[in-house]
Amino acid sequence: MIHCRIQQALQSAVAAELPDADLSRVLVRPCDPKFGDYQSNALMALAKQRKMNPRELAAAVERRLDVGEWCDSVEIAGAGFLNFSLRPAAVAAQLQAAARGEHLFFVPSSTPRTVVIDFSSPNVAKPMHVGHIRSTILGDALARVLRLLGHRVIADNHIGDWGTQFGMLLLGWKTQLDESALATHPIDEMERLYKAVNSDESLRDAARAELVKLQSGDEENRAIWQRMIELSQEQFDTIYNRLGVGFDYTLGESFYNDALVGVIAELEEKNIAEESEGALVVKFTDDPKLKKQPAIVRKSDGAANYTTTDLATLEYRQREWSPDEILYVTDGRQQLHFQQLFAIHKRWKPEVVANLVHVWFGSILSHDRTPYKTRSGEVVRLSALLNEAEERAFTVVTEKNADLDEAARREIARVIGIGALKYADLSNNRQSDYIFDWDKMLALQGNTAPYLQYAYTRVRSIFRKGDIENIDASAIILNELEELALAKHLLNFGQVLENVAAEYRPNYLCNYLYELAGHFAAFYEACPVLKAGDEKQSRLLLCDLTARVMRQGLAVLGIEVSEQM
Ligand code: ARG
């Protein structure tokens, strides 16, 4: 890609001028068109370190720079910025290569990584609620982007299938199960059982006894517990199917039960963990952030906990898949847990160098900025949320296309409703809370999925109007400003994908696609396509590439498109 070539050329020029420079920081980025197409600010930092005059350094590097193949001009600006302006012919050459199917403005990584993504991870016997949606959607989008860029991704659903709640569930199951309710609404029934036992103080001991029996391998309790997992998994799968989300593994917490004793023993042996008030804890005395918060790895009743399980999980993943990176996609409230986990792991296995990242996110809020709930104050279930998204989209679709038959409208509504829900999540900075707003996410204007899906169908409809089978890949002409702007934007697709993968932020891609739709609208407004003369082939090609990038971009966000809307 041109952008990489320019960056490489700049790095060679810098290396020739300053042999000791750290080239990994010599970067070129797309910039405000006021300044050019790409910009580098690397020389100012390099000059500062060496107490050199930045503009003089920029001039010296510029003299060594060989980018004539791609750039019209290289300008030294301000305090020592380098601004690059692309040659239209070089832009056209990239478009032609894309039209010939050589690339779609991105290249697979030359250094593929193995990345484990731990996401979604709902809890057994509880309904999946709106809190799990961010993890599911965000994790899936990251998996798709990383795979597109050629990385090996292992999607692992670390479901919560073990813990004290099973004591209450088992007791409830044995004493007050409603079989017919279980048959029709298993999750609701299990939730009811849990609540019934949990709210009755007098049942504490009996529930505790059921838990102990489960833990010691009692056959009846194991069988009921298995059944609860199966019923839950069916619910999860229904949701995942509707969302188009898949996993390579579902290794829940219970999978690591047998490893916990060994983990605890090793932590004691290596003097990482110590006794404190009956519990076994890890203290972080030399970590200013964690100093005040020791992590418990064995509770005073002898039981392991979430941290112990996560340590065993980490060790397993490391041994099984040797990942370069493990991403944990959860709520921001688990930040302390993951900081402690990573810190313990570093002391436990200092030789392991995998990059451990907590990809955390904020909350979904109602208009009054409290956590998003139903009108009666209950947590919102994911299944109800998906139904409502499709139902509302159906109303919008029906308004626009009253003449389509119902099945077709339902299918379009599914694509739009689910897409809108996903996009509303992905287009926000993941670390900020956002307000859940049906009208905003389903709007056909603004930075929404329906707007982008609609832009896609508009481009595609151009092809339906003229019978255009074979577009000539050599036909690119970029005379109009709007044509050139659109073409240059297409060129930046790969760079954006890489930024998403580097910072785990799909919102960069959302912004890019929104801008793409804007560039396309401006182009379409200024440049006739089907009625054009010599430019017709070239403009059709621009349309086709726009549609392909739009579709590919939405696809890695997990969002489908429809040919008709
Ligand atoms: N089940 C947990 C929850 O619902 C999330 C698990 C996240 N993954 C992990 N390895 N701790 O909060």
Question: Is residue 120 lining ligand 1, measured as CB closer than 6 Å?
Answer: no
Question: Is residue 123 lining ligand 1, measured as CB closer than 6 Å?
Answer: yes
Q: How much is the pLDDT for 382?
A: 87
Residue 173 in this model has a pLDDT that exceeds 90 = yes
Question: Is residue 310 lining ligand 1, measured as CB closer than 6 Å?
Answer: yes
pLDDT above 90 as % of the chain: 86
Token digits for 427? 């287009």
Residue 467 in this model has a pLDDT that exceeds 80 = no
- Which atom from ligand 1 is nearest to the alpha carbon of 132? 4
pLDDT tens digits for 552-565? 999 999 999 998 88
Question: Is residue 492 lining ligand 1, measured as CB closer than 6 Å?
Answer: no
The protein residue whose alpha carbon is closest to atom 5 in ligand 1 is: 121
Q: How much is the pLDDT for 371?
A: 85
Which of 156, 161, 334, 341 should be mutated for ligand 1, with most atoms under 8 A from CB?
A: 334
- Structural domains in the chain, CATH included, are 2-86 (3.30.1360.70), 165-243 (no CATH), 422-556 (1.10.730.10)
- For residues 272-299, average pLDDT: 94
Question: Is residue 221 lining ligand 1, measured as CB closer than 6 Å?
Answer: no
- For residues 14-42, average pLDDT: 93
Question: Is residue 330 lining ligand 1, measured as CB closer than 6 Å?
Answer: yes
- For residues 29-53, average pLDDT: 93
Residue 14's Cβ-count burial label (10 Å; 0-12, 13-18, 19+) is buried
d(CA 118, CA 163): 19
d(CA 306, CA 329): 16
Q: Is the Cβ–Cβ distance between 468 and 540 less than 8 Å?
A: yes
Residue 314 in this model has a pLDDT that exceeds 90 = yes
- For residues 123-134, average pLDDT: 86
Q: How much is the pLDDT for 469?
A: 65
Give 249 Cα–ligand 1 centroid separation in angstroms. Answer: 15
Residue 468 in this model has a pLDDT that exceeds 70 = no
Residue 462 in this model has a pLDDT that exceeds 70 = yes
Which of 121, 132, 251 should be mutated for ligand 1, with most atoms under 8 A from CB?
A: 121
Note every long-range contact of 288-297, with CB atoms under 8 Å and residues 24 or more positions apart, other chains counting.
289/339, 290/336, 290/339, 290/340, 290/343, 293/336, 293/340, 295/340, 295/341, 295/344, 297/263, 297/264, 297/267, 297/273, 297/344
Lowest mean pLDDT segment, chosen from 221-225, 318-322, 463-467, 553-557: 463-467
Lowest mean pLDDT segment, chosen from 171-180, 364-373, 382-391, 414-423: 364-373
Q: Is the dihedral of CA 26, 27, 31, 34 positive or negative?
A: positive
Instruction: Please give the span between the terminal C-alpha atoms of the chain, in angstroms, as a whole number.
Output: 34
Question: Is residue 139 lining ligand 1, measured as CB closer than 6 Å?
Answer: no
Residue 274 in this model has a pLDDT that exceeds 90 = yes
Q: How much is the pLDDT for 130?
A: 77
Give 291 Cα–ligand 1 centroid separation in angstroms. Answer: 24
Give 334 Cα–ligand 1 centroid separation in angstroms. Answer: 9
Q: How much is the pLDDT for 466?
A: 64
Question: Is residue 328 lining ligand 1, measured as CB closer than 6 Å?
Answer: yes
Model confidence at 155, in pLDDT bands (50, 70, 90)?
A: very high
- Which atom from ligand 1 is nearest to the alpha carbon of 313? 10
The mean predicted confidence, pLDDT, of the chain is 94
- Which atom from ligand 1 is nearest to the alpha carbon of 337? 11
Q: Is the Cβ–Cβ distance between 323 and 317 less than 8 Å?
A: yes
Give 389 Cα–ligand 1 centroid separation in angstroms. Answer: 26
CA 526 to chain centre: 35
Question: Is residue 158 lining ligand 1, measured as CB closer than 6 Å?
Answer: yes
- Which atom from ligand 1 is nearest to the alpha carbon of 330? 7
- For residues 174-181, average pLDDT: 96
Question: Is residue 118 lining ligand 1, measured as CB closer than 6 Å?
Answer: yes
pLDDT tens digits for 368-393? 888 888 777 777 888 889 999 999 99
Residue 460 in this model has a pLDDT that exceeds 80 = yes
- For residues 271-283, average pLDDT: 95
The angle, 0 to 180 degrees and rounded to 10, between the axes of the packed helices 382-400 and 219-243 is 20
The helix or strand, by DSSP H or E, that contains position 482, with its residue range, turns out to be helix 481-491
Q: Which residue has the higher pLDDT, 473 or 506?
A: 506
Model confidence at 63, in pLDDT bands (50, 70, 90)?
A: very high
Give 126 Cα–ligand 1 centroid separation in angstroms. Answer: 14
Confidence (pTM): 0.95
Residue 416 in this model has a pLDDT that exceeds 90 = yes
The protein residue whose alpha carbon is closest to atom 2 in ligand 1 is: 121
Q: How much is the pLDDT for 174?
A: 97
Q: How much is the pLDDT for 454?
A: 95
Question: Is residue 173 lining ligand 1, measured as CB closer than 6 Å?
Answer: no
- For residues 466-495, average pLDDT: 87
- Beta-carbon contacts of 549 under 8 Å, excluding residues fewer than 6 positions away, are 104, 105, 490, 493, 516
